[in-house]
Amino acid sequence: MVLTEIAYAKVNLALHVRHRREDGYHELETLFAFADVGDRLTARGSEVDKLRIIGEFAAELAAPFGNIVSRALGVLPRADGLDIELEKNLPVAAGLGGGSADAGAIFRLVERTHGLPDDWLARAARLGADVPACVESVTCVGRGTGADIETVASDLSSTPILMVNLREEMPTGPVFSGWDGIDRGPLPQGPVSRIAAEGRNDLEEAAIAICPGIATVLASLRKTDAFLVRMSGSGATCFALYHNHDAMKRAAESIAQDYPGWWIKTGSLR
């Protein structure tokens, strides 16, 4: 039997950093959404766990046995193994939760083949703060370090999204360290569209200080017919939301012509 899962690209429609915690992490509130594109995982039965990585960004990943996919397999008890082929389509260290999304897809594959243990949420959180959200891969609000999630109905489902990345990896730690420490308040209340529109990404300034090209990406997206433009996560991927697919396609074609070296991906919010 062959099973497949898409590791859906994670997008932070809003990301509010509230304060630095004594344990070194940051207390935050974020609105997670997921695009209908991402890495592709194919699973086959096996006596032992195996992992092969292919795709455009395969060379940028660490050795297979240190990969978060292997770690995800390792924290989920099973009677037999899975032979996993990971097609790496999302850029690495890009604010799209690529590794966490891959881990989330592993949890869904194991759920389909073996079922998940009752404490799967804690196991997911140990792999990364946004892994629990990526297991669900539906719109949700994350609190704490991002691992405390609450799913919410979204009035932005099926909204066209354009994601753009400079093809420069962005280290998460330095971006959070560069946050200015000012608490600018919690997420807005109301429907997802309002939270996204009135929210913000408190890490944009710190990310631009490390990678000034992010400002160029944001400016390019703001020249299009998007109704929302923002950086996702700690960067460097930025995204734009559109009222229709024609506007999104025109924007993607225009930016690709002006910046042929950038990674550009179109899709829809789930």
Mean pLDDT of 46-61: 93
Burial pattern 126-153, b for ≥16 Cβ within 10 A else e, equals: ebbbbbbbbbbbbbbbbbebbbbbeebe
Provide the token pair at 105.
């897809």
pLDDT digits (tens, 9 = 90+) for 58-111: 998 866 556 899 999 999 999 999 999 999 999 999 999 999 999 999 999 999
pLDDT confidence of residue 65: 56
Q: What is the mean pLDDT of residues 162-177?
A: 95
Rounded to whole angstroms, how far apart are CA atoms 131 and 250? 33
Using DSSP's 3-state secondary structure scheme, residue 99 falls into helix
- Catalytic, 10? Answer yes
Query: Concatenated DSSP letters for 118-148?
Result: TTHHHHHHHH-TTHHHHHH-S-EEEEETTTE
- Indicate the pTM of the whole model: 0.95
- For 16, 134, 191, 270, the CA distances from 188, given in Å and listed in that order, are 10, 22, 9, 21
Residue 157 in contact with residue 33, Cβ under 8 Å? Answer: no
% of the chain residues with pLDDT over 70: 98
CATH architecture for segment(s) 160-268: 2-Layer Sandwich (3.30)
Return mean pLDDT, the chain.
96
Which candidate in 88, 130, 202, 265 is catalytic? 130
260 contact partners, CB below 8 Å, separation of at least 6: none
Q: 2-151: which CATH number, 3.20.20.10, 3.30.230.10, 3.40.228.10, 3.10.450.50?
A: 3.30.230.10
Comparing C-alpha atoms, which of 123, 140, 124 is closest to residue 132?
Answer: 124
Would you say the CATH fold of 160-268 matches that of 2-151? no
The three-class DSSP label of residue 246 is helix
Half-sphere exposure of 226 (CA within 13 A, CB side): 24
Q: Which of 10, 39, 49, 265 is catalytic?
A: 10
Q: How is the chain split into domains, by residue range?
A: 2-151, 160-268
Measured distance CA(19)–CA(15) in Å, rounded: 13
Start-to-end CA span in the chain (Å): 27
State pLDDT tens for residues 213-253: 999 999 999 999 999 999 999 999 999 999 999 999 999 99
